[in-house]
Amino acid sequence: MPQARQLAEAPILTATVPRQFVHRAAVAETFLTGWEQTGTDRFAVSAQWPRAHGLHVSRDRSAYEPLLVVETVRQSGTLLAHTEYDVPLGHHFVLQEFEVDTFPAHLAVGPVPAEPSVDVHFAEVRRRAGRPAGARYTAEVVLDGARVATARVAFTCVAASVYDRLRGGRTPATVAVPPPPPGLPPQAVGRALPADVVLAPSERDDRWRLRIDTAHPVFFDHPLDHVPGMLLLESARQAAWALTPGGGTPASFRSVFHRYAELDEPVWIEVFDRGGTDIRIVAAQGELTVFECWVGLAEE
């Protein structure tokens, strides 16, 4: 057994937070390493970003993708909801709004994994029968003294029994998902691998069918009964990239999640407005809008 002096002289040891607190099955997809309260409804969350990742690092491994920031902020809110606001494990979280502005100039991959901090402020916590039913929070992500992102998030959370009633019997086991159609060329959407392409072409160059591949290890880190929010955000990112090849990096996302997108029905991704460096992208299923997002481009 190590002596006290040996422990005192040892370097600080770091591990990820329990993966269940951030709703991930894979430890490799758990980016948070700790947290502490810094004030009333204010917290500092620590994270580590890998230098290589199949989805969240650029093709040439030189930069972190803005959606890695999104996932880190999402995990931060989920972690704190469980650990600081007593949301039970097993409750389901439903994104309502997610707005983020990133600064790609500060997202370069360095010689060691990046260790950003996330300053989180829970500005509103709604309760029902004594339990949190939803919240709004803001986040500022800082890396090496530079602000790399700001975000604003709103979500609701419900018990498993309530969620089951809302979903009307839909479960990962009961929903039959058709094979995804062939996708766009990876380079057309800023991806290296065909498996990471989430858009399939249509008869128009500003409308695509969403490719839903439930075997994807990041978007479907665990079985789901609906299209995950991160997949919808990635579809908006790829749509913006496809429309403006070489014209800028998708760096900001102002998104609203209107309803569940089902796995067994086609989802169409379409551009509706395009003004300057902002592009409005809408996801529809049947006659219903399920998701919309304004994507802002950072000039190269």
Domain count, the chain: 2
Same domain for 161 and 254?
no
Same domain for 141 and 194?
no
Average pLDDT over residues 4-23: 77
Q: What is the pLDDT of residue 49?
A: 97
* Of the listed ranges 85-94, 206-215, 241-250, 278-287, the one predicted with least confidence: 241-250
Same domain for 129 and 211?
no
Alpha-helix residue ranges (DSSP H) falling in the chain: 4-9, 66-84, 160-167, 229-243
What is the pTM assigned to this prediction?
0.93
pLDDT in tens, 16-66: 999 999 999 999 999 999 999 999 999 999 999 999 998 999 988 999 999
Residue 42: CA count within 13 A, CB half-sphere: 5
Give CA–CA dist 82/224, Å, rounded. Answer: 20
Is residue 58 within 8 A of residue 43, CB to CB? The reply is no
Same domain for 151 and 26?
yes
Question: The CATH number of the domain where 70 resides is what?
Answer: 3.10.129.10
Same domain for 127 and 190?
no
Range of the domain at 19: 4-165
Same domain for 141 and 218?
no
Q: Which among 132, 165, 198 is the end of a domain? A: 165
Same domain for 144 and 192?
no
Same domain for 151 and 180?
no
Q: Which among 115, 145, 165 is the end of a domain? A: 165
